Each structure stands twice: as structure tokens, then as C-alpha cells.
Amino acid sequence: MLSCNSRPRQVLVINVGDELLDGIRENGHLLWLGEHLARRGLPITRSVVLRDDAAEIARVVGESWGAYDLIVTTGGIGPTSDDHTREAIASALGVKLEHVPAAERALRDRFKLIGRKVAEADLGQCFVLAGGESLPNPRGTAPGVFYHRDGRALVMLPGPTLELRPMFEEEVVPRLREVGCACQGEAYVQVRTFGIGAVPLEAIVRPLLRPGMVLSFGTHTGVVDARISSAGSGASADQLCEVARKIRDAVGEDFVATGHSCLASLVVEQLRSLEKTVALAESCTGGLLANAFTNVPGASKVFAGSAVCYANDAKVNLLGIPECLIAQHGAVSAECAAAMATCTIEKFGSDYAIAVTGYAGPGGGTETDPVGTVYFGYASPTGVWSQRVSIVGDRRQVKQRAVNTALDFMRRKLNKYRVEDLIHGS
């Protein structure tokens, strides 16, 4: 259910870490927090990336505290000498750091469990801003911090992704809702599509909106999301959902889901409901398609396996594709993609198979099939199909878009299969 404050919130995210500015690690925290804060009605107003410099952290937080409803920091609260975030923020806000006995007990218990001795530096993690809360971190050693004063909130999260994300979901979100900063439910209704661009999608969606509803878009590797929020229009959750249903009907087969489900999870769900399995043969995607499947919990029920057949010899020796077929049509062709899918079913004994072969670039390609050309093969109990697509982008973008296109191709085929079952009463 959607339930949000009408006043827009000002949100600042501060990512701390030399490794972010030295190019050692991508700033995945900003991307993830951007999505998950927006879902709670807290879209990021501004973001800053800082080095592990106590004076700079203190300066930015001190200047920002009165201007933002919520400040979220990531990193710099561990036990090493370059972790300054906790002390710098305490200095900036003019508050003391208080020892939290429960945090120390949890740290000692964890170290005992993993066979490590507690050093004096480790105990520095067991302090919190006076008046704040220590957030438990069962997946690491550094507790987070939640601080609320004068209607404003500040959150300190650990740097490791496996600690940050569950802490945000399990500890931070409930507290933000409790103090009236975050929505009680989703801040918007999202309709996820594939195969239609943002401009034609907007042309469909705009006439369906009630006055005052706000529309925004998110695009990523072929997926286009339309997000509709009430934003003071007085629209109820039911009215927003009704608009989402109208969009679903209007976009037809390009409709993927309402919400945040990824293509791979939808395909896994479809296969589980059918009690069928799938296997893969990948060339240009190099295992990324298999990775998409295995990222979905429960995929082992439907995912039989994958063969990465990058070289032509691998296609022949691992899958059993006739050498003459590759010689006649080429490894990047509709014929090869279809043969890869057919041979994959035979090798893995699966019900379905997807095959991907193409030119990811920057080299390769032909006059008729330039870089970015990808062929998909799809084998099923009812037949074999192939599809050719042209993808614009660098090597990484072509590979990732090819993965989503393959998943969407199978999603559409399975939807059609299920419709035909209903028609024929199977």
C-alpha cells in the first residue's frame, strides 16, 4: 500500500572511500541506494564521494546537516586507521561518542565464533553518536548508526555490500518509517516493459494518467520502467494500480511486470509453474546468461546447466554441431543459433534451451552482420526458433543487452505456450 508524506524530502548520500575515487571499485552503493531510497519516497537530492579524510567528512556533514532531511553515509566505520566517518561526524554535529555494551558483546561473540582475538582497534566500532542507536550487523563487525534529531535523520552504513544492503532493509527502513521520514509502502507504482522505447511508452502512458499524477522513467539494458506516483494529486493506491493495469493492457506483449521483478526471475517462475527445465549454450555472452539464472533463488529447480562454447571447436566438440553447418553458414548465424539450441536439449536432457551467438565487438562482424549483431536460438517441445537483433553499444553493453533479450525472448514464448494451453484445455 502506498502511504507517503506530501512534502518532498531532501536526501544526501555520502560515499566514503579512497578506492571509489582511485578507480579500484565501482560505486555500486549509490546505484543501489538510489533505487531503494526512491522506492520509499526518498529520491536522492545530491550525492558526494569523499576520500577517507576526517576533516573533509566533518566539513561536508557540518555544512549539510541543516539542509537535508536525511543524510546517509557508506564506509569508513570499520576498525582500521583510515576509518574516520564515525569520529568526523560526531565532531561535525558537536556530539560525543558513547560506548554501546550490547555492540561490544555482539562483536566479542562474533570473533569467538570465527576464532579471532579482539584487538583494541576493533572496540572502536562499538561507539555510537550520543542519542543515536547502534544498528546490529550480524554479517560483519561494524555496527551501523541511526541518529535522529530535530526532525532530521542521519544513517551510517558499513562499506561491504553484503553488510550494507541487509542492514538498510532490516534496520534502517523500519526506523525511517517510524520517525515519519519514509513511506509505509512503495512510493510509486512501477510498470516494467521490454521491447518498447521510453518515447513510445510515454505516448501510451500519458493519456492514462489522472491530473496531478507524476510520471518518470528508468531505462537499463533494454528494460524501460514507467513509474507513476500521486505526488500530492490525492490519487489513492487503488487508482495508481488501475492506471498500471491500463498500461499493462495497452503495451501488450511488451509488458514484463508490475513492480521490480527481473526478467530472469520471471522466466524461472514460469518454468517452475510448468514444471519444466532449461539449458543454455552461450558464445558471445560468455556465461552471463547462466549467471542471470543462477542469481535467482530456487533456479536449481529449473536450470539444468550451461555450455560456454566460445570457439568453433567448442561448438563442435561440446555440443555436437556439424562442422559443415558452421563452414556453410558461419558461427554467427540463425542456422548456428538454432543448431546450438537443439543440441543443447539433447546434451542436457532439458525441456527448453536458449542459445546465443554474436559479435560483441570491438572487432569482428561482417558487412551483413556488423558488430552488435546477435542471433538467438530457442528450442522447445513444440519447435525451434531463431531471432536476429542488432544491439548498439560497447562490448559490455552488447553482452548485457543480449542476456536480457534472450530472457525476454523466452518469456514471450512461455507466455504464448501457456495461453495456448488454456485455449486447448491442456
pLDDT digits (tens, 9 = 90+) for 286-316: 999 999 999 999 999 999 999 999 999 999 9
Give the dihedral sign, CA 385/391/395/400: negative
Residue 71 identity: I
Q: Which of 175, 100, 170 is nearest to 142 (CA)?
A: 100
Q: Which of 281, 257, 283 is nearest to 270 (CA)?
A: 257
Query: How does pLDDT run across 327-344, given as a tens digit for each residue?
Result: 999 999 999 999 999 999
* Neighbouring-strand partners of residue 14: 48, 73
Residue 96 identity: K
Q: Are 184 and 3 in contact (CB under 8 A)?
A: yes
Q: Cα–chain-centroid distance for residue 372? A: 24
Q: Cα–chain-centroid distance for residue 295? A: 11
Confidence at 1, pLDDT banded by 50, 70, 90: very low
Rounded CA-CA distance 244/238 in Å is 10
State the cell numbers at 72.
546517509
Structural domains of the chain sorted by starting position, each given as residue range(s) with its CATH number in brackets:
11-178 (3.40.980.10), 189-258 (3.30.70.2860), 263-424 (3.90.950.20)
State the cell numbers at 175.
526506523
Query: How does pLDDT run across 245-259, given as a tens digit for each residue?
Result: 999 999 999 999 999
> Beta strand pairing status for 303-308 and 278-282?
parallel
What is the b/e burial string over 9-34, where b = at least 16 CB atoms within 10 angstroms of the residue's CB?
Answer: bbbbbbbbbeebeeeeeebebbeebb
Rounded CA-CA distance 126/414 in Å is 52
Rounded CA-CA distance 323/21 in Å is 49
Asked whether the predicted pLDDT for residue 2 surpasses 80, the reply is no
Q: Which of 326, 414, 322 is nearest to 375 (CA)?
A: 326
Q: Are 280 and 344 in contact (CB under 8 A)?
A: yes
Confidence at 320, pLDDT banded by 50, 70, 90: very high
Rounded CA-CA distance 200/315 in Å is 39
Residue 159 identity: G
Q: Which of 85, 78, 83 is nearest to 59 (CA)?
A: 85
Rounded CA-CA distance 17/52 in Å is 5
Give the DSSP letter of residue 347: H
Rounded CA-CA distance 55/271 in Å is 55
Q: Count Cβ atoms within 10 A of the Cβ of residue 195 and give its class: 0-12 exposed, 13-18 middle, 19 or more buried.
A: middle
Q: Are 357 and 283 in contact (CB under 8 A)?
A: yes
Rounded to the nearest 10 degrees, the angle between the axes of helix 198-205 and helix 237-251 is 120
Neighbours of 115 (CB within 10 A): 6
Q: Average pLDDT in the 181-194 region? A: 93
* Neighbouring-strand partners of residue 193: 224, 255
Q: What is 248-286 written as a DSSP string?
A: HHHHGGGEEEESS--HHHHHHHHHHHHT--EEEEESTTT
Confidence at 212, pLDDT banded by 50, 70, 90: confident
According to the per-residue pLDDT averaged within each range, which of 52-66, 173-187, 219-233 is highest? 52-66
pLDDT of residue 408: 98
Q: Are 255 and 267 in contact (CB under 8 A)?
A: no
Q: What is 15-59 written as a DSSP string?
A: EE-HHHHTTSS--HHHHHHHHHHHTTT---SEEEEE-S-HHHHHH
State the cell numbers at 396.
559490455
Asked whether the predicted pLDDT for residue 7 surpasses 50, the reply is yes
Asked whether the predicted pLDDT for residue 241 surpasses 70, the reply is yes
pLDDT of residue 228: 95
pLDDT of residue 134: 97
Q: Which helix (H) or strand (E) holds 239?
A: helix 237-251
Rounded CA-CA distance 226/215 in Å is 7
Asked whether the predicted pLDDT for residue 425 surpasses 70, the reply is no
**What are the residues whose beta carbons fall under 8 Å from the beta carbon of 307, sequence distance 6 or more?**
279, 280, 281, 282, 314, 318, 319, 344, 347
